[in-house]
């Protein structure tokens, strides 16, 4: 552990952040080489009814998951499974201008794809197949490679391409290529139709728990 004086200071800082932000809970950890480690988990996993966080509480990682998807894609590039210059038409020719959208553009959000399919439909959770079908009907925001716009849909397609090339579910690729080699015992990719885990800290709007099944099941874009 870090020296007690520093640990007490950091614990107080977490309490300050909870008050300043109104966040239901905060989980934080710091490692200082040669000095020690500190971690703190404070607050509520669910505000109503009150459910405190503990060492076993899981937190939704959201779009940080895109970094894991990118790692898997780049590993497959290194293995010669495909090139960053390959176009989306190799897998999804039905997407508008698929012959001009490269994997590199999907990675760096310059493909022109809409960010979400449900942003226009108003639907809740959609299966990956439903999302692809909707993307095929949506015009691009701009010509591929001419601009940049954040796109969850682009990373959904990358996740599906990983599945097609690896011949296995996306969660298995992340588990075998990243989690297991690095010893990340608590990193887990959720299945596309998986229910909200019981140990997961709930999303909140204000101080009220908020259900958003589409958020944690977004394949390749934010389902970790």
- Residue 189: half-sphere exposure toward Cβ, Cα within 13 Å: 26
Distance CA 193, CA 60 (A): 16
Do the Cβ atoms of 99 and 135 come closer than 8 Å? no
The first and second tokens of residue 72, run together, are 């898997």
pLDDT string in tens for the chain (224-residue length): 999 999 999 999 999 999 998 888 888 999 999 999 999 989 988 888 888 888 788 888 888 999 999 999 999 999 999 999 999 999 999 999 999 999 999 999 999 999 887 654 445 667 888 889 999 999 999 999 999 999 999 999 999 999 999 999 999 999 999 999 999 988 888 876 676 677 788 778 777 777 665 655 678 998 88
- Residue 192: half-sphere exposure toward Cβ, Cα within 13 Å: 14
- Give the predicted TM-score (pTM) of the model: 0.84
Beta strands in 91-212 (DSSP E): 203-205, 208-210
Place of tokens 């701009």: 142
- Neighbour count for residue 94 (Cβ, 10 Å): 12
């Amino acid at each position: 552990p870090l020296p007690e004086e520093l640990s007490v200071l950091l614990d107080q800082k977490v309490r300050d952040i909870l008050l300043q932000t109104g966040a239901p809970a905060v989980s934080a950890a710091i490692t200082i080489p040669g000095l020690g480690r500190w971690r703190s988990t404070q607050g509520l996993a669910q505000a109503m009814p009150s459910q405190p966080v503990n060492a076993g509480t899981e937190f939704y990682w959201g779009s940080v998951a895109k970094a894991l998807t990118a790692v898997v894609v780049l590993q497959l590039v290194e293995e010669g499974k495909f090139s960053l210059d390959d176009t989306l038409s190799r897998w999804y020719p039905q997407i508008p201008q698929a012959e001009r959208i490269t994997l590199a553009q999907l990675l760096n959000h310059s493909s022109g794809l809409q960010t979400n399919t449900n942003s226009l439909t108003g639907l809740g959770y959609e299966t990956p197949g439903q999302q692809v079908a909707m993307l095929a009907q949506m015009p691009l925001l701009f010509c591929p490679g001419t601009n940049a716009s954040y796109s969850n849909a682009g990373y959904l397609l990358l996740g599906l391409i990983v599945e097609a090339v690896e011949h296995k579910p996306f969660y298995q690729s992340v588990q075998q290529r990243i989690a297991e080699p690095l010893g990340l015992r608590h990193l887990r990719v959720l299945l596309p139709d998986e229910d909200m885990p019981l140990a997961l800290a709930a999303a909140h709007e204000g101080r009220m728990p908020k259900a958003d099944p589409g958020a944690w099941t977004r394949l390749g874009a934010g389902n970790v």
